[in-house]
């Protein structure tokens, strides 16, 4: 989905609130939220794709104004409700107030994942173009490279396609590649000597 | 909050939500005894950038190890006893005087946990994720990372299964130092690529 999480290249955010070191969990509730997501994801056997998509479906205003572990809390509660471990009304009654969950899945379940891809179609040095498409479900293809041409720098392993695994029990496996893009091609701003590498599944790519 | 008038809770709304989910899952027997404390302790004390610093220091003193690290990251890192979730497929990228590498995850917050620990808040927040792929030269300068003027910048967006670690350059004047002393020089930021040593 073209969700708020797909942040690469968005403008207007201002400075990075950098600090050189900090505790793993500045607040105790963050550690608990993190552990609870592990509990829920383990109980319902959520794939990595389903977990990430449960965060991506957060209402955009909530996403941008809440911290990382509030995202995890929202994901844990959303998956717990969607898989029938708890109900939304139970959560709100126990919390004594609103308990915002992520929005509904917009994509239909994937029934037929299609055949696995066993051999890489591309190798280092090959020029490729990223498909220009807007799937309503989960994808790991960032919006900022869609339709853009780049060069493969590495063929990595063969992995489960997140777009499939996020939407049901079906799985498809494909090679992944690291693709190098000239930043000037991505942003059209004439910057020089800057290259952005994005790791992409086989089906995200086509020959230019 | 505490509309029923007793036990006014000194908790923020998000803390109340966490407590609500924790209570409901615990009542259903889904939270193993001690699980939350144990998983928290591991990420607070066992996993962190001190692990990555040992990897970097070993690569600085042992050319054979460095070759293995750059060729097969996860296997070389496992030689030092580090591995596990979010470190199964590691690619180590080497800084040189002419090339500077920096890692980001624009879609979420992917990060090499076994060698760097959990990511800092700023790595997960929108400004870093939005800007590092669009204007890295300006952002690195803003974050105090001084690069040679004509250095090539390579940004690595961790969008699939590989997790990245930057191998910083060994600082000049460290020839006499031990491996342990060298590890003490390596900062988390230098292994993300937002600082040089």
Q: Which domains does chain A have, with CATH numbers?
A: 1-102 (1.10.472.20), 127-206 (2.30.30.50)
Partner-chain contact A29 B15, CB within 8 Å: yes
ipTM over 0.95 threshold = yes
Q: What phi and psi, each to the nearest 5 degrees, are found at residue B25?
A: -70, -35
As a whole number, mean pLDDT of residues A71-84 equals 98
- Asked if the structure places residue B84 within a domain, the reply is yes
Encode pLDDT of A117-172 as tens digits.
Answer: 999 999 999 999 999 999 999 999 999 999 999 999 999 999 999 999 999 999 99
Distance from CA of B172 to the nearest CA of A (A): 22
Chain A (77-136) residues lying within 8 Å, Cβ to Cβ, of chain B:
77, 80, 85-86, 90-91, 94-99
B79 lies in a domain?
yes
Range of the structural domain that residue B132 is part of: 48-192
- Total-model pTM: 0.96
CATH of residue B176's domain is: 3.90.330.10
B131 within some domain? yes
Q: Give residue B1's pLDDT band: very low, low, confident or very high (50, 70, 90).
A: very low
Looking at the complex, report in whole angstroms how far the Cα of residue A21 sits from the nearest Cα belonging to chain B. 8
Nearest CA-CA partner of A83 in A132, A47, A113:
A47
For A44-76, give one letter per residue: b (16+ CB within 10 A) or e. Answer: bebbbbbbbbbbbbbeeebbeebbbbbbbbbbb
Q: What average pLDDT does the segment B34-46 reach?
A: 92
Active site residue ranges of B: 105, 108-110
A19–B159 C-beta distance less than 8 A: no
Give the C-alpha separation, A90 to A100, whole Å. 13
pLDDT digits (tens, 9 = 90+) for A31-74: 999 999 999 999 999 999 999 999 999 999 999 999 999 999 99
d(CA B119, CA A43): 25
B-facing residues of A in 13-42 (CB < 8 A) are 13-27, 29, 31-36, 38-40
Domains of chain B: total: 1
Q: Quick check: is B152 in a domain?
A: yes
Residue B24 lies in a domain: no
Average of pLDDT values for A106-122? Answer: 95
- Domain contains B157: yes
Does any CB of chain A come closer than 8 Å to the CB of residue B107?
A: yes
Q: Is residue B11 part of a domain?
A: no
- Tell me how close the Cα of B58 comes to any Cα of chain A, in angstroms: 23
Inter-CA distances, A33 with A15, B27, B128, Å: 27, 16, 23
Is B19 inside any structural domain? no
Q: What's the mean per-residue pLDDT of chain A?
A: 97
Burial of B178: CB neighbours in 10 Å, binned 0-12, 13-18, 19+: exposed
Helix/strand/coil (H/E/C) assignment for every residue in chain B: CCCCCCCCCCCCHHHHHHHHHHHHHHHCCCCCCCHHHHHHHHHHHHCCHHHHHHHHHHHHHCHHHHHHHHHCHHHHHHHCCCCCCCCCCEEEEECECCEEEEEECCCCCCCCHHHHCCCCHHHHCHHHHHHCCCCHHHHHHHCCCCCCCCCEEEEEECCCCCEEEEECCCCCCCCCCCHHHHHCCCCHHHHHCCCCC
Nearest-angstrom CA–CA distance, A98 and A120: 48
């Amino acid at each position: 989905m073209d969700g708020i999480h797909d942040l690469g290249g968005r403008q207007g955010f201002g400075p990075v609130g950098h600090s050189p070191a900090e505790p793993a969990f500045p607040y105790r509730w963050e550690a608990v939220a993190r552990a609870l997501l592990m509990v829920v994801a383990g109980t319902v056997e959520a794939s990595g794709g389903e977990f990430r998509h449960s965060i991506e479906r957060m209402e955009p205003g909530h996403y941008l104004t809440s911290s990382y572990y509030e995202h995890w809390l929202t994901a844990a509660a959303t998956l717990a409700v969607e898989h029938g471990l708890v109900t939304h009304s139970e959560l709100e009654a126990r919390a004594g107030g609103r308990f915002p969950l992520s929005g509904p899945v917009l994509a239909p379940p994937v029934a037929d994942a299609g055949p696995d891809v066993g051999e890489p179609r591309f190798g280092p040095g090959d020029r490729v173009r990223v498909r220009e498409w807007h799937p309503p479900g989960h994808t790991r293809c960032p919006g900022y490279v869609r339709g853009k041409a780049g060069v493969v720098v590495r063929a990595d392993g063969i992995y489960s396609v997140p777009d499939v695994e996020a939407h049901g029990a079906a799985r498809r496996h494909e090679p992944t590649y690291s693709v190098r893009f000239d930043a000037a091609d991505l942003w059209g701003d004439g910057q020089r000597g800057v290259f952005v590498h994005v790791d992409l599944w086989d089906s995200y790519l086509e020959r230019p | 909050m505490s509309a029923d008038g007793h036990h006014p809770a000194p908790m923020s709304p998000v803390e109340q939500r966490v407590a609500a989910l924790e209570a409901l899952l615990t009542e259903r027997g889904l939270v193993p005894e001690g699980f939350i404390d144990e998983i928290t302790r591991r990420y607070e004390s066992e996993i962190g950038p001190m692990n990555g610093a040992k990897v970097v220091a070993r690569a600085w003193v042992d050319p054979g190890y460095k070759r293995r690290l750059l060729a097969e990251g996860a296997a070389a890192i496992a030689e030092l006893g580090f591995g596990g979730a979010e470190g199964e497929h590691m690619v180590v990228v080497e800084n040189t005087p002419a090339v500077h590498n920096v890692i980001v995850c624009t879609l979420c917050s992917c990060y090499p946990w076994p060698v760097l620990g959990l990511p800092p808040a700023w790595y997960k927040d929108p400004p870093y994720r939005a800007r590092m792929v669009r204007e890295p030269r300006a952002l690195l300068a803003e974050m105090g990372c001084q690069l040679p003027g004509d250095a090539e910048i390579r940004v690595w967006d961790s969008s699939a299964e590989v997790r990245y670690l930057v191998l910083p350059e060994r600082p000049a004047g460290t020839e006499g130092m031990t491996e342990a002393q060298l590890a003490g020089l390596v900062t988390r930021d230098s292994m993300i690529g937002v600082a040089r040593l």
